[in-house]
Structure 1
Amino acid sequence: MTFGEKFKALREEKGLTQKEVAGDLGINARMITRYENGISHPRTREAYHKIADYFGVDVNYLLTENDSFVMRASEQYGARGMKQAQELIDGMSGLFAGGTLSEQDKDAVMKALQDIYWESKARNAKKYSVKVDKVDKEGSEL
């Protein structure tokens, strides 16, 4: 079940309208629609916690592994990292769309890709930090 499906189910269980939830959470009603349709996700861990508290559920219930991955990319690398992470997930989801992989195998593939993503980000950060160190030591720009 996706975040949007969980969100909508929780809202409907409470008998609340999208407008009521938006007002209570302090966000635009259009964002609720975007959540429920799977177009958007909360961007921060704090937003997930606020929603979980509002509905009286554990935050881990709301987070899928993919949501957690995208949020972590956003926290570490900003909007660009978030976009790259979401594109990676969307691309891989397309490959799985009509496939014969079990859910467990799909999860294993996604986990492996996420690990590769983090390793490449770390390598790139290390390369960049070496260049910065050279600039600092030499006192000139690259």
Structure 2
Amino acid sequence: MTLGDKLRKAREERGVSQAVAAAGVGVSLRTYKSYELNESTPQNRQIMERLADYYGLNINYLLTVGDDFVFSAEEKYGSKGRREARELIDQVIGLFAGGEMSEIDRDEAMQAIQQAYWDAKKENTKYTPKRYRDDSDKKEK
């Protein structure tokens, strides 16, 4: 079930219009509609938390494994990390297209790829000049 499907179901169960839901979450109607139509996803974890709070849902229900990965990459590495993580997920999804693979196996493969991404990022910080490292990089050493 996609984020859009989950939001639509929660909104219909609550018996509110998209306009009311958008106002309750604090986003524009156009933005909210794009979430329900799966045309876009929330740009940060705070919006996802507001969606979960508005509908009384656990945020983990709304997040996919990929969403959590993208938000974590953004928190650690900024917009470049978010973009790289999103590109990685899109490429991996392409690998799964048309194949016969259980959802559990797909999730495990995605988690393994995400772990490889984190390991590569951590390894690359060893080669970042000290003046460009932030405090969290120095503490990991």
Question: Shorter-chain-normalised TM-score: which range?
Answer: 0.7 to 0.9
Identity of matched residues, %: 43
The one-letter code sitting in structure 2 at the alignment partner of 1:20 is: V
> What TM-score results when the alignment is normalised by the length of structure 1?
0.84
Indicate the residue corresponding to 1:110 in structure 2. Answer: 110
Cα distance in 2 between the residues matched to 1:77 and 1:5: 30
Indicate the residue corresponding to 1:98 in structure 2. Answer: 98
Indicate the residue corresponding to 1:81 in structure 2. Answer: 81
Q: Runs of 5+ in structure 2 lacking a partner? A: 133-141
Deviation at 1:69, TM superposition (A): 0.6
Indicate the residue corresponding to 2:136 in structure 1. Answer: none
List aligned pairs for 1:39-54, cutoff 5 A. 39-54=39-54
Indicate the residue corresponding to 2:59 in structure 1. Answer: 59
List aligned pairs for 1:123-142, cutoff 5 A. 123-130=123-130, 132=131
* Secondary structure in structure 2 of the residue aligned to 1:127: coil
* Secondary structure in structure 2 of the residue aligned to 1:24: helix
Cα distance in 2 between the residues matched to 1:41 and 1:66: 11
Cα distance in 2 between the residues matched to 1:129 and 1:43: 30
Cα distance in 2 between the residues matched to 1:7 and 1:117: 30
Cα distance in 2 between the residues matched to 1:19 and 1:108: 38
The one-letter code sitting in structure 1 at the alignment partner of 2:96 is: F
The one-letter code sitting in structure 1 at the alignment partner of 2:7 is: F
Q: Runs of 5+ in structure 1 lacking a partner? A: 134-142
Deviation at 1:125, TM superposition (A): 2.1
The one-letter code sitting in structure 1 at the alignment partner of 2:8 is: K
Deviation at 1:76, TM superposition (A): 1.1
> What TM-score results when the alignment is normalised by the length of structure 2?
0.85
Indicate the residue corresponding to 1:136 in structure 2. Answer: none
Would you say the 8 A contact 1:4–1:35 is kept in 2? yes
Cα distance in 2 between the residues matched to 1:81 and 1:99: 28
For residues 22-50 of structure 1, give each alpha carbon's deviation from its aligned partner in whole angstroms, at most 9, with x where no partner exists.
11222111111221122322233322221
